[in-house]
Amino acid sequence: MVRRRSMLAGVVSAVGGVFAVGAGRAGAAPAVAGLGGYRLVNLSHVNDPARTNVFPGDPEFTLTTIATVPVEGYYLQYARQGEHTGTHWGAPYHFNADQPAADQLDTEDLFLPAVKIDIREQAARDADYAVTVEDLRAWERRHGRIPRESAIVLWTGWERKWGTPAFPNADADGQMHQPGFSLAAVEWLVRTGRLGRRGALGTDTFSPDVALDEEYRVSKLLYREHRISLEILANLAKLPTTGAWVLVGGTVNHKGSGSPASIYALMPKD
């Protein structure tokens, strides 16, 4: 917690620097000071009705223009979407009526150290690949212990399929095929304290569950322990294996199950 507060203080200081504007040359746009020693990477897809893949059974995503500058004097769209449309995060309430909803979480639940686990090769060979305990142990032998209360992000390579039928990857019977975490791996993360009281699983697919598991056992275990899920992430090539933090935004609805999100990775500059 001390480390989290120290990092948060640094972020606040850095973000404050964004508002320091330089004079610049005459007629030029003002020079904006950056984030100090940090840089931001957007991990979210842009929602577009022509491209946004929606989980089967969820509401269709639509954007309707209801005001234009020539007619009303301003531009405005009406967005219709579920709470899990596009890049989003899920709250514990999503599967557990006795766990916190989106509006009941603490701010610290949405600001977490992040590690990235690259399973692109395994996922390319097997769309139903489930990360094992040995995969996690092998990662730690190479990169060190997963920090407590981390967002543990799977880089499956699925983001390149976004906006196409290959993203849900349904077979002729309608069964989706996407990689994820095995239940044993997440039980190990919980048991060994890697997730701590706070933490998250993240992925560039629909869910941290392998799509074949229609009981969502990984999600249910994750949410029962107060933790959140970051789903349909983008730009994971820019997320370092270690050393970054994720900042999770989005509209917070009353008794929300989660929210479409702008998720950012904050990391030291090289």
Enumerate the domain spans of the chain: 1-36, 38-54+83-268
Q: Which pTM value belongs to this model? A: 0.86
For residue 204, give the nearest of 53, 48, 78, 80 by alpha carbon: 53
Q: What is the DSSP letter of 107?
A: G
User: What's the whole-number average pLDDT of the chain?
Assistant: 89
Contact (Cβ atoms closer than 8 angstroms) between residue 234 and residue 44:
yes
Alpha carbon distance 15, 33 (integer Å): 10
Contact 220, 96 (CB under 8 A): yes
- DSSP H or E stretch at residue 203: strand 200-203
| pLDDT (0 to 100) of residue 201 | 97
| Ranges in the chain, pLDDT < 50 | 1-2, 9, 12-33
Mark out the alpha helices in 34-174 (DSSP H runs): 69-72, 120-125, 133-143
Q: Are 143 and 152 in contact (CB under 8 A)?
A: no
CA geometry: angle 242, 151, 44, nearest 5 deg: 95
CATH class of 38-54+83-268: alpha beta
Helices (H), 99-177: 120-125, 133-143
User: pLDDT by residue (tens digit) across 198-248?
Assistant: 899 999 999 999 999 999 999 999 999 889 999 999 999 999 999 999 999
Polymer length of the chain: 270
pLDDT tens-digit readout, 65-88: 999 999 999 999 999 999 999 999
Strand partners of residue 230: 89, 202
